[in-house]
Structure 1
Amino acid sequence: MISKKISIIIPMYNVKDYIVETIESVINQTMEDIELVLIDDCSSDGTYEIAKKYLERYPNITLIRNKKNQGVSASRNIGLKLSKGHYIYFLDSDDYIEKDAIKKLYMAAQRENADLVIGNHLIYQNEETKSPWMLEKFPSLTMAGEKNLLKNPELYFLIYSCGKLFSKELINDLKFSEQIYNGEDQPFTLYAYLNAKKIYLEPCITFYYRMRKPGDVSLSQTEGLLEEKITGFINMIELSKKYIDESPNEPNIKEDLFIFYLNRVLTLNLWNPLSKALKSPSKYNCFSIIRTLNISVNNLTDEVVLKTPAITEYIRNIKPYVYALNKEVAKEYLKLLKTIKEKRDRAKNRLL
C-alpha cells in the first residue's frame, strides 16, 4: 500500500556513535510526509536500543530487528518490502543528510517527471568536508539536467544506491543481491539507470559520506576475506551484465554499456583486493584467484576483451607479482595471457 511520499531506508549495524546524528538528520527534514524504515542487523553495541527511543515520539518511524545477522543487502530488501512511499531513498547508518535534501530531490522528480533523481554528496572526515574526486574529474556530474548512460558514462562513477530518489514503480520488482557482499548496490543502481524513463541530476548536496577510521566500518563497508571480495566483484560484474543484456537497447549499445562498466569495476573495485592478495601469497590462494580471473575472461566476448583498456593494464600490473610466486601460479597466469591473446586476435580478424 502506497501512503507516503518518501520512504527512507536505513540498515544499521553497530553504529551507536553515529546513529543519533543519522536519525536526527532524517526527522528534521523540511519535506513532509516522510517515513523512516530502520532495519537493525543484530547490533551488539546498543544501536537498536538507541533507535527504539525514537519510536514513541515519531509515529512515522518503523523499526525492525533481524533475528540473525543477514547483511546489508537483506536488510535493505526488508526495508523495501516494508516501505509505503511513492519514492525510495537509501541512507547508510553512519551518514547524514542535509535538512532540505529530500525536498529538493522530490521537487526535481515532480518538476521533471523523472523516476530517478541523482543528488551530489560530500565526504565527511575528521570534522571536515571535501568534494569526492569524481565530481572534480567529471564536471558534468555537478550540472543539472537529464542524463543517460550512453551519453553520460560518467554516471558509472555514481553507481551506488545512496543519494538518489528512486520511484517505487521503477524498482518495484527489484532486490539487492544477497550473494554479493561488496559493491552490492552496483547492479541495483545499474538496473535503475537502464530502465528509468527519465534520469535527472539535481546538483545539490544531499548527503555526507562519513569516512571512518580503519577497523571502524559500517554494515555496507564490512570487508571479508580478499578471495571472497574478488569473487564477489566478479559475481557483481556478471549480474550487472545480465541487467545490461536484458535492457531495452540494441546489441551494439549493450556492448558499449558493458565495456564502460567493466572498465570502471576493474579500475576502481577489483584491482585493490587483487593486488593485496598478490602481495601476500602466504596468506591467500593466488593460484585460485588467477584461475578465477581466467574463467571470467573466458566468459567475456572476444570484442569486449579487445575493447576494454583495463584488461591490458591488469596483465601489465599482475606480471611482476606472478613471476615472484611459484611455478603453478605463473603457469596459470600464462594461460590467462593465452586466453586474452586468442580472444583479441579473433576480434581483430573479424574487423578486417
Structure 2
Amino acid sequence: MITVIIPSYNRAHLLPEIIPSYLQGAVSRVVLVDDCSIDNTKEVIKKLQVEIPILDYIRLDKNSRQAYAKNVAIETVETPWIYFGDDDSVLYPNSLKFLLQTCQEYDADICGAKALYMNDDEIDLEKNVAIHNILLPTGKLIADLNTLETNFQYSVVQPISVPIVHASALVKTDVAKRIKFDPSYIGNSYREETDFFLRSFLEGSKIMYDSRAVQINLPRKKAKGGSHSSGKIKWYYYTVVNNHRFMNKNWSSVQKKLAIKTPQMIMEIKFLYNLFLGASKNIISKL
C-alpha cells in the first residue's frame, strides 16, 4: 500500500484538480501538509474530504518549507511505500502502478517518474505527454553525477538504474524515515530533493527510473503560489546559495564513490554559468 505526501503552500486553487490525480491503485492515504498557507487551503481540503475519505490534513504552525513539511508527514506513515507528490502537478493515470511494479521487479528502494512541464499556452495533458514521448538520445544519461545534468523528460525502453530521480518518486517508507529531507535548504529549497535522493544512493539504495510513469507540472501562470511567489531575483539567489550548500555537503562523497576528479569549485562555476545563461535566454525570448 502507498501513502501519498503532498506539501502545499498557497495553492488552494489547484488542489481540487491536483489531489484526485493521486487516487490511484494501491493508494490508501493521501496527506496534504499545509505549510501555514495564508489562502483558503483549509476550507478547500474540508470540502474535498467529503468526497475523499482517505485525505488527511496537517497544518503547520509556521511556514517551514517543503523539507520540514515532508518530514512531518513521513513520521505519520504506516504503509510500506510513500509517493512524494507536488501541489502544482498532476500524476498521470497508472503511474503508481508502473512505479510499484518496477520497484518489485527490480528489488528497488526508489523509483522515479518522468517529469514534464506544461507551457502557459498548453491545456491538454495527454497532448503534452504525447509530444514528449521522445527516447533518450544515444550518449545521454537520465542523470549524470559527473556533470549533475538530468534529463527526466525523456522516455526509456525499459526501467533503468539511476543515481538520482526527480522530486516525484515512489520510496520505501523505511528509507524515507531513515534518510529524511534536510530542512536547512532555505528560500526556494532548491536541491533539497536532489540531496535526499543522492544521500539515499550514497547509502546504498537502489534507484530506478520508469518513464511510463509521468508527473506533469501545470503551467506557471496557473500554478501561482509556492516558492516562485517570492520573485525571480530571490529565486535565483536561493538557487545559488542552496546549490553551494548541496555541493559542500555531498560532493566529496560523490567523488569518492564514483572516482570523479572534477573539483567542487569548477562544478559550481559551471553551474553558475548555465544558470545565468538560461536566465539570459529567458529574458531575451520575452523581448
- Which residue of structure 1 aligns with residue 147 of structure 2? none
1:37 Cα deviation after fit: 0.8
Instruction: Confirm or deny that 1:192 pairs with 2:206.
Output: no
Distance 1:237 1:214 in 2: 33
1:16 Cα deviation after fit: 2.2
Kept in 2: contact 1:116–1:166 (CA 8 A)? yes
1:145 Cα deviation after fit: 3.5
- Which residue of structure 2 aligns with residue 177 of structure 1? 182
1:50 Cα deviation after fit: 0.6
- Which residue of structure 2 aligns with residue 131 of structure 1? 132
Q: Specify whether residues 53 and 135 from structure 1 end up closer, same or farther in structure 2 by C-alpha distance, changes over 3 A only.
A: farther
Quick one: which amino acid aligns to residue 272 of structure 1? L
- More contact order relative to length (CA 8 Å, sep ≥ 6): 2
Question: What CA deviation, in whole Å up to 9, does each residue of 1:86-107 have, x standing for no partner?
Answer: 1111111010111211111112
Kept in 2: contact 1:11–1:219 (CA 8 A)? no
Quick one: which amino acid aligns to residue 42 of structure 1? C
1:26 to 18, 22, 43: 22
Q: Secondary structure at the match of 1:142?
A: coil
Instruction: Confirm or deny that 1:147 pairs with 2:161.
Output: yes
Alignment gaps of 5+ in structure 1: 150-154, 246-250, 277-352
Instruction: Confirm or deny that 1:167 pairs with 2:172.
Output: yes
Q: Secondary structure at the match of 1:85?
A: coil
Quick one: which amino acid aligns to residue 177 of structure 1? D
Quick one: which amino acid aligns to residue 32 of structure 2? L
Q: Specify whether residues 215 and 115 from structure 1 end up closer, same or farther in structure 2 by C-alpha distance, changes over 3 A only.
A: closer
Distance 2:272 2:2 in 1: 31
- Which residue of structure 2 aligns with residue 203 of structure 1? 211
Q: Specify whether residues 85 and 174 from structure 1 end up closer, same or farther in structure 2 by C-alpha distance, changes over 3 A only.
A: same
- Which residue of structure 2 aligns with residue 39 of structure 1? 33
Question: What CA deviation, in whole Å up to 9, does each residue of 1:120-160 have, x standing for no partner?
Answer: 132223315253999568376532244144xxxxx5xx4x3
Q: Specify whether residues 101 and 264 from structure 1 end up closer, same or farther in structure 2 by C-alpha distance, changes over 3 A only.
A: farther
Q: Specify whether residues 148 and 124 from structure 1 end up closer, same or farther in structure 2 by C-alpha distance, changes over 3 A only.
A: closer
Consecutive aligned runs of 4 or more in structure 1 exceeding 6 Å deviation: 260-265
Kept in 1: contact 2:11–2:224 (CA 8 A)? no
Q: Percent identity?
A: 20
Alignment gaps of 5+ in structure 2: 143-153, 280-287
- Which residue of structure 2 aligns with residue 11 of structure 1? 7
The number of residues matched between the two structures is 255
Q: Calculate the TM-score normalised by the size of structure 1.
A: 0.62
Shifted more, 89-98 versus 126-135: the winner is 126-135
Question: What CA deviation, in whole Å up to 9, does each residue of 1:196-217 have, x standing for no partner?
Answer: 4433332213210224039934
Q: Specify whether residues 145 and 216 from structure 1 end up closer, same or farther in structure 2 by C-alpha distance, changes over 3 A only.
A: closer
Distance 1:123 1:82 in 2: 30
Kept in 2: contact 1:121–1:131 (CA 8 A)? no
- Which residue of structure 2 aligns with residue 74 of structure 1? 68
Shifted more, 70-79 versus 115-124: the winner is 115-124
Quick one: which amino acid aligns to residue 55 of structure 1? Q
Q: Specify whether residues 67 and 193 from structure 1 end up closer, same or farther in structure 2 by C-alpha distance, changes over 3 A only.
A: same
Quick one: which amino acid aligns to residue 107 of structure 1? Q
Question: What CA deviation, in whole Å up to 9, does each residue of 1:72-92 have, x standing for no partner?
Answer: 111111121122221111111
Kept in 2: contact 1:145–1:202 (CA 8 A)? yes
- Which residue of structure 2 aligns with residue 237 of structure 1? 247
- Which residue of structure 2 aligns with residue 90 of structure 1? 84
| Backbone CA RMSD of aligned residues | 3.4
Q: Specify whether residues 274 and 225 from structure 1 end up closer, same or farther in structure 2 by C-alpha distance, changes over 3 A only.
A: farther
1:22 Cα deviation after fit: 0.7
Q: Specify whether residues 146 and 261 from structure 1 end up closer, same or farther in structure 2 by C-alpha distance, changes over 3 A only.
A: farther
Q: Which has the higher helix share?
A: 1
Kept in 2: contact 1:115–1:196 (CA 8 A)? no
Q: Calculate the TM-score normalised by the size of structure 2.
A: 0.74
